[in-house]
Amino acid sequence: MRRNVTLLSCWLGWLGLLAATKSGWAAPTGLLVIPTAGIMSPGELALEIQRDTAGLVAGYHEALLVNTTWGISPTLEAGLDLDLSCSRPRLLFDCKWQASQPGRSKPGIALGLYSLGDGSKPRAYLVNSIGKQAGLHIGIDAGEGSPLWMAGVHWPIESRRILMADFVSSPSRSFSMGICGEYIGGLNYALGWQWIGEGEELFTVRLGWCGRFQGMK
């Protein structure tokens, strides 16, 4: 059964949960920083350019990434991202397996891996999502040392715009909020602000496209 390409499944990427210290990976089924339990449908493809810049308080490592994500099966998605932030560009791989699909009253559960490849330490997470039109997302990231707790919400304000906010616990404590939207032809955007740790802040701009592989049903 073919599922429609929706704004919520294609609108934006999200940095790895250690965004306060280094670039992680990106995927289109998440909030501004944290993932959700949703995944892309088989045959869907998302392309995105992500630019992160420091805010009024300097100190954050600015980032430039080219992100790709595709739906592999009804329960699996994967991504390959090019990080251009370093002196030597690096490729990072990620994947997410959906154990159960989110519904209005039934929680969705997903397990994921990110920061795979090119000298990065792999990371794992578990996330639980409740709701479709508006949603609550709670999860845990394996972290480096102690686990990181994460929580977030999203809610639509129009048919083509969604507000979102999320929080990640210490030691990489951060709070973010933003808006995403969709244009015609699968073009989409996201704008956001993130407060990190000791008063540092980050602004992010993401431009992307989401569609379907030719011939996929």
- The answer, yes or no, to whether residue 154 has pLDDT greater than 60, is yes
Strand partners, 94: 79
- The answer, yes or no, to whether residue 113 has pLDDT greater than 50, is yes
pLDDT at 136: 93
Q: Are 15 and 23 in contact (CB under 8 A)?
A: yes
Q: Are 206 and 12 in contact (CB under 8 A)?
A: yes
Positive or negative: CA dihedral 44, 186, 53, 168: negative
Query: Residues 159-177: what's their mean pLDDT?
Result: 88
Least confident of 3-12, 31-40, 64-73, 76-85: 3-12
Strand partners, 194: 176, 202
- The answer, yes or no, to whether residue 54 has pLDDT greater than 60, is yes
Kindly give the pairing relationship between strand 90-100 and strand 76-83.
antiparallel
Q: For the chain, give the mean pLDDT.
A: 80
Write the CATH number of the domain with boundaries 7-212: 2.40.160.40
- The answer, yes or no, to whether residue 163 has pLDDT greater than 90, is yes
pTM: 0.83
pLDDT at 61: 59
Omega of the bond leading into 171 within 30 degrees of 0 (cis): yes
Q: What is the 3-state secondary structure (H, E, C) of 57-97?
A: CCCCCCEEEEEEEEEEECCEEEEEEEECCCCCCEEEEEEEE
pLDDT at 176: 93
